[in-house]
Structure 1
Amino acid sequence: MTTALEALARLREGNRRFVEGRGGSHLNLNESRRSELVAGQKPFAIILGCSDSRVPAELVFDQGLGDLFVIRIAGNIVAPSQIGSVEFAAEQFGTPLVVVLGHSRCGAIAATIDAVMHPAASTSRHIHSIVERIRPSVAPLVATELRHDHDALVGHAVRANVRASANHLRHGSEILEQMLLDGRLMIVGAEYSLETGVVEFFDGVPEAP
């Protein structure tokens, strides 16, 4: 059985292949692989990422059919349906690793910053519901000197939002919290760089011995 640290190493190696332009060369995407998966799946990692078209988890981690259980939503926010999806994969498949994956220049983050700085601006109630979940991570940063540097503000807000989503998963579910306590699950936060293609894991990652 794959451990969380082994799963993390596998993601890092896959991202390295992607960045170096070697992605896809080892993947088995033919009919025999599809047939293998008809009876069931055993994904080694759960990825809660943003819906942004530039950040497809399977590609940036260079993984194939049946490898990743991917949940995508604008701003990689955590709502009850996302928690339920993570619980399902962790319980049903024994998947040991959850990665909350944000990315640079996130549009949902920028929209939230704009809503905090210009509260009179109108938006649809559905977009508003996403903004409101991101707002607690963004509002304190807008109150600092970062408000004078938009790019730096977005960069800090992306990571603050990832940390908030990861903590929400860690403490917003009795099932996940118990799995964490039992050592059966690890939840980490990461950021994908649109500029370089590199995924940096920065939250909840054990220090190397």
Structure 2
Amino acid sequence: MLSAEEALDRLKQGNQRFVNGETYHPKLLTHQQRAEMAGKQSPFAIILGCSDSRVPAEMVFDQGLGDLFVIRVAGNIVAPSQVGSVEFAAESFSCPVVVVLGHSHCGAIHSTIEMLRNPDRPPSPNLMSIVNRVRPSVEILMQTELKDDLEKLSQHAVRSNVFASVNQLRHGSAVLENLIVQGRFTVVGAEYSLETGEVTFYDF
């Protein structure tokens, strides 16, 4: 089993290959390879990322089928179902790390900013359930000078939202807290750049 440091290093190396256009994981598997994977899985890392179609975790980190346990939801938010999914992978597969992966130009961030600027035009109740989880990360920034610069506000909000999700995973689950205390699990934050393809890891 990989340590959290080894798992993160594997992700970083894969992302560097992706940025350089030197990916080596096959896009297609043989029938035999698929059949061999049908009985079990052993992902080495968990990725909690955004549903954005431009941020597929396996491609971004140049990993193959079965390498990553990927949870995708708009805004890379943390709700009970996401926490439960992380707990499942951490306990069932001994994954040593979960990466909360935000990205530039996030639609959930933009929707939240738009709602805060125009509260009289709220989104649908279902979309609002996502916005409400992103909202605290954006509201605090809108009380600063960033409120007058939409681009900078969005950039800072992406990172703030990643931090909030990291914090929720670290302190919102007795299962994960116990694994962290035992030194068996790590929660980290990161941001993917749509412009460059590079993933920046944060030390929160």
User: Shorter-chain TM-score category?
Assistant: over 0.9
Query: Deviation at 1:156?
Result: 0.2
Query: Deviation at 1:35?
Result: 2.1
Query: Deviation at 1:25?
Result: 4.8
TM-score, normalised to structure 2, is 0.97
1:53-72 Cα deviation digits (max 9, x unpaired): 00000000000010000000
Provide the residue aligned with 1:182 in structure 2: 182
Provide the residue aligned with 1:138 in structure 2: 138
1:114-159 Cα deviation digits (max 9, x unpaired): 1112211131000011000000100010111001111100000000
Quick check: 1:28–1:64 contact (8 Å CA) kept in 2? no
Structure 2, unmatched stretches of 5+, are none
Quick check: 1:33–1:65 contact (8 Å CA) kept in 2? no
User: Which whole-Å CA distance do the structure 2 matches of 1:151 and 1:203 have between them?
Assistant: 23
User: Which whole-Å CA distance do the structure 2 matches of 1:19 and 1:64 have between them?
Assistant: 16
User: Which whole-Å CA distance do the structure 1 matches of 2:28 and 2:63 have between them?
Assistant: 10
Query: Deviation at 1:33?
Result: 2.5
Provide the residue aligned with 1:207 in structure 2: none
Query: Deviation at 1:30?
Result: 2.6
Provide the residue aligned with 2:23 in structure 1: 23
State the aligned residue count.
204
TM-score, normalised to structure 1, is 0.94
Structure 1, unmatched stretches of 5+, are 205-209
Identity %: 61
1:83-139 Cα deviation digits (max 9, x unpaired): 000000000000101000000010100110111122111310000110000001000
Quick check: 2:103–2:192 contact (8 Å CA) kept in 1? yes
Query: Deviation at 1:23?
Result: 1.5
**AA aligned opposite 1:7:** A
SS in 1 for 2:69: strand
Provide the residue aligned with 2:71 in structure 1: 71
SS in 1 for 2:178: helix
User: Which whole-Å CA distance do the structure 2 matches of 1:52 and 1:27 have between them?
Assistant: 20
User: Which whole-Å CA distance do the structure 1 matches of 2:150 and 2:3 have between them?
Assistant: 39
SS in 1 for 2:47: strand
- Seen in structure 2, the aligned counterparts of structure 1 residues 200 and 59 have a Cα distance that, compared at 3 Å, is same
Query: Deviation at 1:203?
Result: 3.2
